[in-house]
């Protein structure tokens, strides 16, 4: 999944886990069911193949955020990232370049000290940095050079929402760690390269108007030690350019206490080439590599697809039907879910009521024109969801296909489970939705209304009768 999708999943997970007032258990169940319909993934596929959960989680978060936006919830606004991480990198790079340009100017004077701390410290710092990066890579490269950005606080009242905001921030920070590590390293490498480039540019620019005199002085080092140090640091640049380095006698003659040194042109060239080889080129290449890696990671966020949270969201594994005494056989019956995916509890009830009934893969809205109707010697039960708004161009068109193809009219069952869970106690709303379904179906179909997840006493009798009667005459429960 990409970074945008992962951020949405993190927000929905925070909502699921903290259950604020505008995101309750019924919404969580609805989003999971909608994701199964959108992706066409079965419970078996989701349990046996963790890689399929990527698309399922993405679809689920998309549906959840759509519902929250429809309600005018403030939570989707929390997806906007904080601005400061975007500005930190460019600000650091510009500051490093300016600092490099000013280092030599601040030192002032016309002497180029061959033991100049800026050059030696810069080289030492970069060499130590390379060693640290190598050790970090051997450990797996999990460290982040600066603090991860926090999710921007969602607008709205503070009370009751802090837990959700904190959880979202923690989830996103952990999930986006590889992305922000790559971005941070890219900017840090670029800043180091620009600092060294600024120092080189400053030397050459000031050298056009000022004659630098190269030499050295030291309280603790003698000419032999300085010669060894200079040959060690500048030897590769000397070999590449063909510029000779002085021997011990020559280095001793450059001591400022013995004279005014020599024209610094060759030393500037050697120091500049050394900085290019040790700092500018390697750091620029590493910055480009980390930037490319950040682009890849942004499109492939490694989200945990086998966490206890994700496994807890998945539809239950298919289970064997539980027989109910007194139920009749449903041989030849095919159940066709349309616009919904029955819960495991609903499947158990269906198979227990109609013992040998076959439950087909759910159809989505729009499949009524594209997929062949189930073939069966018995009856077909079309399963709708009361929570869905009945539509003639979809639900009505599906039922009309049976007559157009000369098939026996299907039995229409409307599952009330999710609707009753959401609007418990609002009998008028439930009856209004039932009436909408009756108007759509007309006199050709008498629907069976039943809450398959938790049917009351005798509620499945109508379904059993409908499944084995010669015609669709089942009364509404």
Indicate the pLDDT class of residue 322, thresholds 50, 70 and 90. Answer: very low
Q: pLDDT at position 63, please? A: 92
Q: Which domains can be identified in the chain, with CATH numbers?
A: 1-315 (no CATH), 334-468 (3.40.50)
pLDDT > 90 in the chain, percent: 32
Q: How far is CA 244 from CA 234, 238, 254, 269, 397, in A?
A: 10, 6, 15, 12, 90
Q: pLDDT at position 388, please? A: 87
Indicate the pLDDT class of residue 468, thresholds 50, 70 and 90. Answer: low
pLDDT > 70 in the chain, percent: 86
Q: pLDDT at position 473, please? A: 35
Q: pLDDT at position 55, please? A: 92
Indicate the pLDDT class of residue 462, thresholds 50, 70 and 90. Answer: low
Closest CA to 182 of 300, 80, 306, 279: 300
pLDDT > 90? residue 303: no
Q: pLDDT at position 141, please? A: 62
Give the C-alpha separation, 362 to 347, whole Å. Answer: 12
Q: pLDDT at position 208, please? A: 84
* Lowest mean per-residue pLDDT among 51-60, 153-162, 245-254: 153-162
Give the C-alpha separation, 99 to 102, whole Å. Answer: 5
The per-residue pLDDT for range 204-236, each reduced to its tens digit, is: 887 887 888 889 988 899 999 999 999 999 999
* Lowest mean per-residue pLDDT among 112-121, 341-350, 433-442: 341-350
- For 40-48, what is the mean pLDDT? 83
pLDDT > 80? residue 86: no
Indicate the pLDDT class of residue 152, thresholds 50, 70 and 90. Answer: very low
Contact criterion met (CB below 8 Å) for 466 and 413: yes
- For 348-365, what is the mean pLDDT? 78
- For 307-327, what is the mean pLDDT? 62
393 or 148, which is more confident: 393
- For 437-466, what is the mean pLDDT? 78
* Average model confidence (pLDDT) across the chain: 83
* Lowest mean per-residue pLDDT among 255-264, 365-374, 378-387: 365-374
Give the C-alpha separation, 345 to 415, whole Å. Answer: 12
Q: pLDDT at position 245, please? A: 94
Contact criterion met (CB below 8 Å) for 331 and 378: yes
Closest CA to 227 of 212, 242, 249: 249
- For 127-133, what is the mean pLDDT? 92
> Which residues contact residue 265 at a Cβ distance below 8 angstroms, ignoring those fewer than 6 apart?
207, 212
Q: pLDDT at position 153, please? A: 42
* Lowest mean per-residue pLDDT among 36-50, 93-107, 130-144, 154-168: 154-168
Indicate the pLDDT class of residue 283, thresholds 50, 70 and 90. Answer: very high
**Burial class of residue 275 (count of CB atoms within 10 Å of its CB; 0-12, 13-18, 19+):** buried
Q: Alpha helix (H) ranges present in 42-110?
A: 43-48, 53-70, 84-107
């Amino acid at each position: 999944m990409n970074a945008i999708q992962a951020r949405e999943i993190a927000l929905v997970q925070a909502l699921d886990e903290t259950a604020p007032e505008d995101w309750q258990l019924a919404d969580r169940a609805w989003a999971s069911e909608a994701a199964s319909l959108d992706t066409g993934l079965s419970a078996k596929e989701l349990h046996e193949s963790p890689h399929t959960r990527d698309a399922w989680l993405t679809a689920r978060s998309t549906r959840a955020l759509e519902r929250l936006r429809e309600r005018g919830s403030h939570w989707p606004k929390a997806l906007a990232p904080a601005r400061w991480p975007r500005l930190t990198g460019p600000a650091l790079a510009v500051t490093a370049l300016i600092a490099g340009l000013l280092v030599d100017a601040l030192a002032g004077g016309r002497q180029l000290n061959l033991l100049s701390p800026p050059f030696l410290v810069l080289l030492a710092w970069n060499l130590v940095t390379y060693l640290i990066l190598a050790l970090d890579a051997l450990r797996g490269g999990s460290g982040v050079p600066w603090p991860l950005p926090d999710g921007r606080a969602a607008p709205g009242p503070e009370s009751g929402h802090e837990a959700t905001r904190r959880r979202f921030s923690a989830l996103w920070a952990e999930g986006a760690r590889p992305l922000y590590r790559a971005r941070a390293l890219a900017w840090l490498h670029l800043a180091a390269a620009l600092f060294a480039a600024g120092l080189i540019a400053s030397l050459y620019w000031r050298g056009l108007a000022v004659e630098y005199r190269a030499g050295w002085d030291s309280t603790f080092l003698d000419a032999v030690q300085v010669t060894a140090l200079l040959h060690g640091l500048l030897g590769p640049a000397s070999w590449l350019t063909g510029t000779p380095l002085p021997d011990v006698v020559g280095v001793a003659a450059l001591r400022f206490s013995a004279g005014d040194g020599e024209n610094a042109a060759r030393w500037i060239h050697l120091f500049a080439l050394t900085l290019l080889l040790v700092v500018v080129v390697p750091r620029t290449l590493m910055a480009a590599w980390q930037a490319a890696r950040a682009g890849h990671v942004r499109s492939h966020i490694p989200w945990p697809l086998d966490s206890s949270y994700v496994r807890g969201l998945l539809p239950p594994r298919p289970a064997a039907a539980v027989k109910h005494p007194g139920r009749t056989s449903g041989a030849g019956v095919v159940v066709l879910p349309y616009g919904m995916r029955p819960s495991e509890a609903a499947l158990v009830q269906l198979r227990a009521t109609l013992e040998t009934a076959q439950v087909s893969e759910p159809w989505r809205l729009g499949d009524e024109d594209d997929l062949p109707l189930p073939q069966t010697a018995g009856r077909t039960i079309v399963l709708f969801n009361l929570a869905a708004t009945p539509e003639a161009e979809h639900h009505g068109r599906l039922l009309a296909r049976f007559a157009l193809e000369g098939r026996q009219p299907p039995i229409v069952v409307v599952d009330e489970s999710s609707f009753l869970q959401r609007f418990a106690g609002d009998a008028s709303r439930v009856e209004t939705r039932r009436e909408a379904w009756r108007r759509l179906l007309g006199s050709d179909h008498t629907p069976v209304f039943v809450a398959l997840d938790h049917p009351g006493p005798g509620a499945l009798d109508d379904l059993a009768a409908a499944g084995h009667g010669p015609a669709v005459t089942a009364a509404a429960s």
